[in-house]
């Protein structure tokens, strides 16, 4: 593949079927036990070779993209780290199309970073295996190694210890992402800092979710827990009111993704998804009907393409 000029990589969002915080580590991070799945809502990242010595150029578009800059986008940090680790000149043009809400608990930034590593691995013809890419990804962020693999994974440690689980094909969900302009959000680090020791757990819920998914069965509803729900209940009355409004019009079982504020619900066969989405959007925020994404599709790339 010596004549490659560009690579486009999908960068899917994720949801956490379960997320338990086990405790704080001596290095300042937290041990977690989580089961995550990529979903069909996705950003698109196109990397094009630039002339030698041109360096890195960055272009981003899409909802919320005005708040992103090259210095703040961890996909650019991933590109620099990979160039240094592989001793490759960083002469590339980056074109990122954002569709995943920013800072919403859906892993958009981490997914973009993983997509960058996958794309550059192909563009530069490096042929690094996934395990080696995952080691590099763990230096960027705790969720980034998961996105190197995609599909459904049981993740422990900081999130870098990955157990792949079978695909749950075409499992339908509705993601509800509250309006970021009107809600006060806590950043992930702040959310971790707000945890009380009594809110740490042993990972039994995530383990049961992983065991059921390992048999090709849907996740058990009673074990879809997220430790950060307790933090939001204590600290963010605005979000609590928004979730209550969602429940009042039919979202009886909503589950927090990541550190929030996005939540998701299962969609039953035959449900009027368009009506549901409009109902929730009338309350505030954006709705995304999605399906779980297979490991293969969540890692798809195209070569020698133009920008989207």
Secondary structure string (H, E, C) spanning the chain = CCCCCEEEEEEEEEEEEEEEEEEECCCCCEEEEEEEEEEEEEEEEEEEECCCCCCEEEEEECCCHHHCCCCCCHHHHHHHHHHHHHCCCCCEEEEEECCCCCCCCCCHHHHHHHHHHHHHHHHCCCCCCHHHHHHHHCCCCCCHHHHHHCCEEEEECCCCEEEEECCCCCCEEEEEECCCCCCCCCCHHHHHHCCCHHHCCCCHHHHHHHHHHHCCCCCCHHHCCECHHHHHHHHCHHHHHHHHHHHHCCCCCCEECCCCCCEEEECCCCCCHHHHHHHHHHHCCEEEEEEECCHHHHCCEEECCCCC
Q: Catalytic residue, from 43, 112, 130, 143: name it.
A: 143
pTM over 0.85: yes
The pLDDT value given to residue 269: 83
Specify burial of residue 93 (Cβ count, 10 A radius: 0-12, 13-18, 19+).
middle
Position of tokens 């959007």? 281
The count of domains in the chain is 1
Nearest to 239 by CA among 277, 185, 176: 185
- The CATH number of whichever domain residue 76 belongs to comes to 3.30.230.10
The pLDDT score that the predictor gives to residue 183 is 44
Active site residue 143: yes
Tokens of 72: 């703040």
Give every CB contact of residue 169 below 8 A, 6+ residues apart in sequence: 292, 294
pLDDT of amino acid 181? 53
Contact 205, 34 (CB under 8 A): no
> Pairing relation of β-strands 255-256 and 263-266?
antiparallel
pLDDT given at position 305: 79
pLDDT for 193 equals: 85
Contacts of 135 (CB under 8 A, 6+ apart): none
Mark whether 14 is an active-site residue. Answer: yes
Question: Which residue range(s) make up the domain with 24?
Answer: 1-308
Give the pLDDT of the chain (308 residues) as one tens digit per residue. Answer: 557 899 999 999 999 999 999 999 998 889 999 999 999 999 999 999 999 999 999 999 998 787 788 888 999 999 999 999 999 999 999 999 999 999 899 999 999 999 999 999 999 999 999 999 999 999 999 999 999 999 999 999 999 999 999 999 889 999 999 975 544 444 688 888 889 889 999 999 999 999 999 999 999 999 999 999 999 999 989 999 999 999 998 887 999 999 999 999 999 888 899 999 999 999 999 999 999 999 999 999 999 875 44
Half-sphere exposure for 46 (CA within 13 Å, toward CB): 15
Q: Which of 35, 43, 39, 47 is nearest to 79 (CA)?
A: 47
Which listed residue (14, 43, 98, 223) is catalytic?
14
The most distant pair of C-alpha atoms in the chain lies apart, rounded to whole Å, by 58
Query: Distance between CA atoms of 131 and 148, rounded to whole angstroms?
Result: 9
């Amino acid at each position: 593949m010596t004549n490659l000029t560009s690579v486009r990589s999908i960068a899917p969002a994720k949801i956490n079927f379960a997320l338990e915080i086990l405790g704080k580590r001596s290095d300042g991070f937290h041990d977690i036990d989580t089961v995550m799945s990529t979903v069909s809502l996705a950003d698109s990242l196109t990397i094009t070779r630039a002339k030698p010595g041109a360096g890195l150029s960055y272009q981003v578009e899409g909802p919320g993209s005005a708040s992103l800059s090259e210095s703040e986008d961890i996909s650019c940090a991933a590109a620099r780290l990979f160039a240094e680790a592989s001793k490759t000149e960083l002469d590339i043009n980056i074109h990122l199309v954002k569709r995943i809400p920013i800072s919403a608990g859906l892993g958009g930034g981490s997914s973009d970073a993983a997509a960058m590593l996958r794309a550059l691995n192909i563009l530069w013809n490096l042929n690094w295996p996934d395990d080696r890419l995952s080691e590099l990804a763990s230096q960027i962020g705790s969720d980034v190694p998961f996105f190197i693999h995609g599909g459904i994974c049981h993740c422990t440690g900081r999130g870098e210890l990955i157990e792949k689980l079978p695909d749950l094909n075409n499992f339908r969900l509705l993601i509800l992402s509250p309006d970021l302009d009107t809600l006060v959000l806590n950043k992930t680090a702040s959310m971790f800092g707000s945890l009380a020791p009594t809110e740490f757990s042993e990972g039994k819920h995530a383990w049961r979710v992983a065991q059921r998914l390992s048999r090709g069965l849907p996740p058990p509803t009673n074990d879809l827990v997220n430790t950060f729900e307790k933090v939001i209940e204590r600290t963010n009355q605005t979000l609590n009111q928004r979730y209550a409004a969602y429940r009042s019009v039919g979202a009886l079982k909503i589950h927090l993704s990541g550190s929030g504020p996005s939540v998701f619900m299962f969609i039953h066969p035959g449900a009027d998804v368009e009506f549901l989405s409009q109902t929730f959007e009338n309350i505030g925020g954006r709705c995304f009907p999605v399906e779980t994404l297979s490991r293969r599709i969540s890692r798809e790339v195209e070569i020698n393409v133009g920008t989207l």
